[in-house]
Chains A and B, each alone.
Chain A
Amino acid sequence: DVKVTQSSRYLVKRTGEKVFLECVQDMDHENMFWYRQDPGLGLRLIYFSYDVKMKEKGDIPEGYSVSREKKERFSLILESASTNQTSMYLCASRRDVQPQHFGDGTRLSIL
């Protein structure tokens, strides 16, 4: 079974902090994705990566950056957290054109 692991289920941070969200997959998938999910807005793509050290902007990259130093790990960075970044963050991975598989999400609150 595909396993996508996000480092924290719940996280509380303060405005202005630099926040790191980690995602690890154990299936040697080339493609990895970061989404955020908000009520009424559905799933929105922040960034994705096709391979190590490669990244592409999604629909809402502002205020975020990513890092993919190793194939299995894709990190999402909030450079200076703001309250409007309070959300559920979901990581997904995929091999080739196979379906995306998601982690359990990180519910992030910015106070």
Chain B
Amino acid sequence: DAKTTQPTSMDCAEGRAANLPCNHSTISGNEYVYWYRQIHSQGPQYIIHGLKNNETNEMASLIITEDRKSSTLILPHATLRDTAVYYCIVTPQGGSEKLVFGKGMKLTVNP
């Protein structure tokens, strides 16, 4: 069972920041927060992951609350190509033997 809760969908205007929330209130001390996205008809794409500190890479930023019960993925300047289903996953580092994706959240970036 997925251990995260995400909104079903969200809209964002092109060029604006997209802030994607995720709740993971039962996260364990050794579990990381991972974000993947899946553009229609493609495989999941790894975005970013973190344990407790905020993380940033060329794709996005990840903000994890101090109690680690929730996090936010930030796409700083959303483009139409960011339209996808975004999955927030909590799992031990590396994803153990398998990844369990919940229903995810559909982000639609509008012109």
Write the residues of chain A forming the contact surface with B, with a CB cutoff of 8 angstroms.
4, 33, 35, 42-43, 45, 48, 56, 58-59, 90, 92, 94, 96-105, 107
Interface string of B81-105 (1 = CB under 8 A from A): 0000000000001110111111100
Evaluate whether A42 and B100 lie within 8 angstroms (CB atoms) in the complex, with A97-B94, A99-B94 already known: yes
* Cβ-defined contact, A100 with B95, below 8 A: yes
* Cβ-defined contact, B101 with A42, below 8 A: yes
Shortest C-beta distance, A80 to chain B (Å), equals 25
B25 within 8 Å of A by Cβ?
A: no
Task: Determine the distance from Cα of A94 to Cα of B91 in the docked complex, in whole angstroms.
Answer: 15
Task: Determine the distance from Cα of A107 to Cα of B97 in the docked complex, in whole angstroms.
Answer: 23
User: Which residues of chain B in 55-111 are interfacial with respect to chain A, using CB atoms and an 8 Å cutoff?
Assistant: 93-95, 97-103
Shortest C-beta distance, A61 to chain B (Å), equals 12
Please, which residues of chain B bring their CB within 8 A of the CB of A48?
97-98
B26 within 8 Å of A by Cβ?
A: no
* Cβ-defined contact, B97 with A58, below 8 A: yes
Contact of A99 among B42, B46, B100, B102 (CB under 8 A): B46
Contact of A101 among B46, B100, B103 (CB under 8 A): B46
Please, which residues of chain A bring their CB within 8 A of the CB of B49?
99
Please, which residues of chain B bring their CB within 8 A of the CB of A103?
43
Write the residues of chain B forming the contact surface with A, with a CB cutoff of 8 angstroms.
2, 34, 41-46, 49, 93-95, 97-103
Please, which residues of chain A bring their CB within 8 A of the CB of B98?
33, 35, 43, 45, 48, 58-59
Task: Determine the distance from Cα of A30 to Cα of B48 in the docked complex, in whole angstroms.
Answer: 21
* Cβ-defined contact, A43 with B94, below 8 A: no
Task: Determine the distance from Cα of A102 to Cα of B45 in the docked complex, in whole angstroms.
Answer: 7
Evaluate whether A102 and B43 lie within 8 angstroms (CB atoms) in the complex, with A42-B102, A42-B103, A43-B101 already known: yes
Task: Determine the distance from Cα of A97 to Cα of B42 in the docked complex, in whole angstroms.
Answer: 24
Please, which residues of chain A bring their CB within 8 A of the CB of B93?
97
Enumerate the 6 nearest inter-chain pairs by beta-carbon distance, A residue then B residue, closest first. Answer: A97-B94, A102-B43, A45-B98, A97-B93, A99-B46, A43-B101
Task: Determine the distance from Cα of A97 to Cα of B51 in the docked complex, in whole angstroms.
Answer: 13
Shortest C-beta distance, B5 to chain A (Å), equals 15
